[in-house]
Structure 1
Amino acid sequence: MNTERDVMEEADDAAPVEMLAQLFEAHGWPCEQVSEEEISGEIQGSWTSYQLRCVWRAEDRVLQILCLPEIRVPDAKRRHAQELLTLINEQVWLGHFEMWSNGGVLLYRHGLMLGDEGMLSIAMASQAIESAVAECDRFYPAFQFVLWGDKRPREALEAALVDAAGEA
């Protein structure tokens, strides 16, 4: 099994899906290359496992990263979930959270513009994936508080951020 250091020594930059496949392999994360433009995998976070989908749009030279916690919002909770998403997105520097209208699936989405060559470095790939998982972990408790703890969105966000700040 390759380590991240081995991957770094093998190639400085590579096509995005190829580099992500190498990164997943180096970490032992299960993944599937869906096509030349898409890779899908699973990563264990602090609270749950996340489905990760990365889609390469060569014509735009943009790599879209989708990180999906196993959360579906029931119709009765959609208004509160949308309010929470608005509050959370005010706290996020890169990417954003959204809820798909079809099925109420929550996700984190971030797009990386890769420049004229459209190449991805191992450092950039690692940082993007780690950031996506970290953001999902950071706000996962807030979603739980709203969806299953019946807290109001602002109260849920405050409680989640206090809990996260208190963890070691």
Structure 2
Amino acid sequence: MRAVQETFRAVDDAAPIDMLAALFDARQWPHEIISPDEISGEIQGSWANYQVRAIWRTADNVLQLLCLPDIRVAEGKRKPAYELLALVNEQLWLGHFDVWSQGGMLVYRHGLLLGDEGLLSLSQAQGLIENAVDECDRFYPAFQFVLWGDKSPRDALDSAMVDAAGEA
């Protein structure tokens, strides 16, 4: 954290993709700037490596963050997975989980509306990334319990929340 703050000593706010690129550089997370409006990277979470992608939409001053925990939901598991999604999303204050219709990939999504200047602060960038990874880590076990352990969505969520409460 200190190295990141020193890197940004002279910069308060920046264009969203530039700020995220600088944060990824400072944390030494692998990433690629896809375009002036898109960045993709990889972050090691507690359970898995997460692909993180941010897309800047200038017209609306919205930064959309996607965090993919590399979980595919097979067609036969969609019903319990969607039930679990509803239960999990009730627990979230920011962002939500979804399953992409093409490919069945689980995704955490969060849209951040920036001010008229369209600038992202370091604290916003850090909070956005940390929240996404934290939420993926928090609910990863629940999705595994449903998809691989054949637990009911409610039991899977209860088990994951007990496990998470036990980690300190």
The TM-score normalised by the length of structure 2 is 0.98
Structure 1 residue runs without a partner (length 5+): none
Q: Distance in 1 between matches of 2:7 and 2:110?
A: 23
Structure 2 residue runs without a partner (length 5+): none
3-state SS, counterpart of residue 64 of structure 1: strand
| CA deviations over 1:34-65 (Å, ceiling 9, x no partner) | 00000000000000010000000010000000
Contact residue 40 and residue 52 of structure 1 kept, 8 A:
yes
Percent of aligned positions that are identical: 64
2:36 match = 36
2:150 match = 150
Q: Distance in 1 between matches of 2:100 and 2:34?
A: 21
Contact residue 7 and residue 122 of structure 1 kept, 8 A:
no
2:14 match = 14
2:48 match = 48
2:81 match = 81
CA RMSD of superposed structures (Å): 0.9
Q: Distance in 2 between matches of 1:5 and 1:93?
A: 26
TM-aligned CA deviation for residue 5 of structure 1: 1.5
2:160 match = 160
Moved over 3 A (4+): none
Counterparts of residues 49-64 of structure 1 (less than 5 Å): 49-64=49-64
Q: Distance in 2 between matches of 1:56 and 1:34?
A: 11
Q: Distance in 2 between matches of 1:20 and 1:93?
A: 22
Counterparts of residues 85-96 of structure 1 (less than 5 Å): 85-96=85-96
Q: Distance in 2 between matches of 1:41 and 1:128?
A: 14
Q: Distance in 2 between matches of 1:13 and 1:7?
A: 13
Q: Distance in 1 between matches of 2:156 and 2:83?
A: 11
